[in-house]
Amino acid sequence: DGGITQSPKYLFRKEGQNVTLSCEQNLNHDAMYWYRQDPGQGLRLIYYSQIVNDFQKGDIAEGYSVSREKKESFPLTVTSAQKNPTAFYLCASSISYRTYEQYFGPGTRLTVT
Amino acid sequence: AQTVTQSQPEMSVQEAETVTLSCTYDTSESDYYLFWYKQPPSRQMILVIRQEAYKQQNATENRFSVNFQKAAKSFSLKISDSQLGDAAMYFCAYKMPTSGTYKYIFGTGTRLKVLA
């Protein structure tokens, strides 16, 4: 089955530790995205990648980093510099950054204490 | 800057009845896309319906239809014959199709409860 996988579903970390969220897709999509979702708010874009070895900051990139070494993979690292990292994180992909439809993964709930 | 507003944090509907979720947006562009996404308790985002701004005809997908009023910048979602499985958060979203505009702009969502 084609789709997007995010692992793990729930992740717990201590404050001050970096943590990496996984996102893999087998849809052969060029573009991939990371969103953050907080209660009472819509999705906010953290980073996006239009193509392998390229990525751009979104609206709330501070305290996050990404890499795009393979077409299928777009991991997100939440660094200790992120002041409020506890949130639900969604990964998405689209055929290209110009196409209108994004496909979403199941998300990862990160809790930092 | 483009914005998307969903003024109804929560709505309820009786099973088999019809409900309309509201969405307004602000843009100076003439060409764009509008979407409704559903997020059930599993939290997986699912595309419900999309509308291209250049199309005058309202989009429909089975029990889901939109009322797109371009001049009023309004994009409401109508769910007919509501089912228990329709209970979810619904997000309205906007996207420009031109190059260099990479992102969706999401509203804050409306939680739909379906009463048996």
pLDDT, tens digit (0-9, with 9 covering 90-100), for A54-112: 999 988 999 999 999 999 999 999 998 888 999 999 999 988 766 778 899 999 999 99
Angle at A33 between CA B29 and CA A66, to 5 degrees: 130
Separation CA B50–CA B102 (nearest Å): 17
Higher pLDDT, B79 or B95: B79
Cβ neighbours of A107 in B, within 8 Å? 43-44
Closest C-alpha to B40, from B86, B92, B88: B88
Residue of A93, A88, A44 whose CA lies nearest to B42? A88
Q: Is A83 on the interface with B (CB under 8 A)?
A: no
- In chain B, residues 23-62 whose CB comes closer than 8 Å to chain A: 33, 35, 42-47, 50
Q: What's the average model confidence in pLDDT over B31-51?
A: 92
B103 neighbourhood in chain A, CB within 8 Å: 33, 45, 48, 58-59
Q: Is the pLDDT of residue B99 over 60?
A: no
* b/e burial code for range B50-62 (CB count within 10 A of at least 16 → b): bbebeeeeebeee
pLDDT of residue B96: 76
- Is B75 within 8 Å of B23 (Cβ atoms)? yes
Q: Measured between beta carbons, which residues in chain B are less than 8 angstroms from residue A100?
A: 33, 35, 50, 95, 97
A105 and B4: CB-CB below 8 Å? Answer: no
